[in-house]
């Protein structure tokens, strides 16, 4: 082979070995949302925390340490979760698995007062086994500090000692009777939880306590436990009787309230009926008053109308009489004027006629009238005596007529 080919082969082998070394040396880690990673370098701990996502690192110089920041538990118990439970995933099984065995604490059976002690009464201690569960989470901003001082084994080096010491210190100040009974157990649980939440060392390391629960308290002295059980049962029966009495009293009170409500309902109904009758009577009276007012109003209107009618008729009658009187007056005036005119005309005619009697015309007219009168008179004569002639009669008649006629004035 030529020297050039040898150099090329050496270069290829070197590159291949470099790739193999890189594949062996580089790693990656996937960080979930409920996790954080602390990077441990050869020169110390990185100040930057590994956030959720994909991270690549050189494993010869860097080691990632995962920390769970979501809710976690620390369990002191001797009962484990059944592995056949199909409703839990792997994380849930780990979440419920015990971290340490139960704590055995010697406590006094009963609390003795000063009077009990002076009377010579004494009780020995009895072992009490306590099973507990504490729920907590880590503050992400303090994980690096937690890692520096406690290492990833913080559950064993930090949490467990504080938890056990707190349980022992708060339990030993009580007696077994108080711890075993319900109210004492609740009191002890609250006291331990309050103490853990206020622990400054846990706060400084970012361990936030959420809840503390006493799962079980077991008395090693079975005779004392049986006695406590009997007392607890008696207390429970007493409380049950009190609850039943309260329930009976409540039922009686409910029945009494129901009877009172029914009575009040009837009273209200009676008052309502009474009120309705009163309202009805008032309405009837109001109707009658309104009807009377309407009738009176109608009467007033009718009287007013009749009076107006009479007044109008009187005015019309008076006007008619006035007009009739005016017409009669006018008629009388017209008649008077007509009579006056007739008199005037008659007088004028008489004057004119008498004027005709003046002179020769008057005499002739008189002769004619006498002749008419003679003819008329002779027609009435049915019998003339033989000793009297018609001429004599005529002569005498004409003379009589002449005497009755007005005499013509003598002209001078």
* pLDDT tens-digit map of 349-369: 666 666 666 666 666 666 666
Q: For residue 11, name the pLDDT band (cuts at 50, 70, 90).
A: confident
Residue predicted with more confidence, 395 or 341 = 341
Rounded Cα distance between 134 and 192, Å, is: 10
Q: pLDDT at position 5, please?
A: 75
pLDDT in tens, 231-253: 778 878 888 888 888 887 778 77
Rounded Cα distance between 76 and 213, Å, is: 11
Give helix then strand counts, H and E, for the chain. 12, 9
User: What rounded mean pLDDT belongs to the chain?
Assistant: 76
Sequence ranges of the domains in the chain: 23-68, 72-220, 362-412
Q: pLDDT at position 204, please?
A: 93
Please check the confidence at residue 100 and state whether its pLDDT lies above 80.
yes
Residue predicted with more confidence, 160 or 288 = 160
Q: Where are the alpha helices (DSSP H) in 52-198?
A: 90-96, 114-118, 143-150, 154, 160-171, 176-180, 182-197
Most confident of the following: 90-94, 192-196, 393-397:
192-196
pLDDT in tens, 154-208: 999 999 999 999 999 999 888 887 887 778 888 999 999 999 999 999 999 999 9
pTM beyond 0.75: no
Q: For residue 337, name the pLDDT band (cuts at 50, 70, 90).
A: low
Domain 72-220 has CATH 3.20.20.70: no
Rounded Cα distance between 152 and 205, Å, is: 12
Residue predicted with more confidence, 82 or 65 = 65
Which of 24-33, 57-66, 104-113 shows the lowest per-residue confidence on average (mean pLDDT)? 104-113
Rounded Cα distance between 65 and 49, Å, is: 10
Rounded Cα distance between 159 and 167, Å, is: 12
Residue 399: name the closest of 361, 381, 373 by CA: 373
Residue 388: name the closest of 373, 400, 378 by CA: 378
Q: pLDDT at position 170, please?
A: 92
Q: pLDDT at position 99, please?
A: 87
Rounded Cα distance between 399 and 370, Å, is: 9
Q: pLDDT at position 253, please?
A: 77
pLDDT in tens, 38-77: 988 888 888 888 899 988 887 778 889 889 888 899 999 9
Q: pLDDT at position 220, please?
A: 79
Residue predicted with more confidence, 83 or 200 = 200
Please check the confidence at residue 305 and state whether its pLDDT lies above 70.
no
Q: Over range 359-383, report the average pLDDT.
A: 62
| Burial environment of residue 124 by CB neighbours within 10 A (0 to 12, 13 to 18, 19 or more) | exposed
Q: pLDDT at position 301, please?
A: 66
């Amino acid at each position: 082979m030529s020297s050039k080919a040898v150099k090329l082969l050496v270069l290829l082998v070197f590159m291949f070995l470099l790739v193999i070394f890189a594949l062996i040396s580089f790693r990656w880690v996937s960080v979930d949302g409920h996790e954080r990673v602390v990077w441990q370098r050869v020169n110390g701990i990185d100040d930057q925390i590994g956030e959720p996502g994909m991270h690549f690192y050189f494993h010869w110089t860097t080691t990632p340490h995962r920390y769970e920041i979501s809710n976690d538990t620390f369990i002191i118990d001797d009962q484990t979760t059944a592995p056949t439970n199909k409703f839990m995933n792997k994380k849930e099984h780990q979440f419920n698995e015990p971290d340490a065995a139960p704590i055995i604490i010697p406590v006094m059976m009963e609390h003795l007062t000063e009077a009990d002690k002076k009377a010579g009464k004494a009780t020995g201690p009895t072992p009490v086994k306590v099973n507990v569960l504490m729920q907590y989470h880590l503050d992400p901003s303090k994980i690096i500090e937690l890692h520096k001082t406690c290492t990833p084994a913080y559950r064993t080096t930090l949490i467990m000692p504080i938890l056990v010491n707190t349980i022992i210190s708060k339990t030993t100040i009580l007696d077994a009777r108080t711890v075993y009974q319900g109210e004492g157990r609740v009191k002890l649980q609250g006291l331990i939880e309050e103490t853990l939440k206020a622990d400054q060392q846990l706060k400084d390391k970012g361990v936030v306590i959420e809840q503390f629960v006493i799962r079980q308290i077991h008395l090693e002295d079975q005779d004392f436990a049986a006695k406590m059980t009997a007392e607890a049962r008696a207390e429970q029966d007493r409380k049950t009787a009190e609850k039943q009495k309260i329930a009976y009293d409540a039922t009686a009170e409910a029945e009494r309230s129901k009877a009172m409500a029914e009575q009040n309902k009837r009273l209200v109904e009676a008052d309502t009926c009474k009120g309705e009758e009163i309202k009805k009577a008032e309405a009837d009276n109001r109707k009658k008053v309104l009807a009377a007012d309407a009738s009176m109003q109608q009467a007033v209107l009718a009287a007013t109308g009749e009076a107006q009618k009479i007044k109008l008729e009187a005015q019309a009658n008076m006007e008619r009489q006035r007009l009739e009187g005016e017409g009669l007056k006018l008629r009388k005036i017209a008649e008077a004027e007509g009579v006056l005119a007739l008199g005037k005309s008659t007088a004028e005619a008489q004057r004119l006629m008498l004027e005709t009697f003046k002179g020769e015309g008057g005499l002739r007219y008189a002769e004619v009238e006498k002749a008419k009168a003679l003819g008329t008179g002779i027609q009435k004569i049915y019998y003339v005596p033989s000793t009297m002639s018609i001429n004599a009669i005529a002569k005498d008649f004409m003379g009589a007529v002449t005497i009755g006629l007005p005499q013509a004035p003598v002209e001078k």
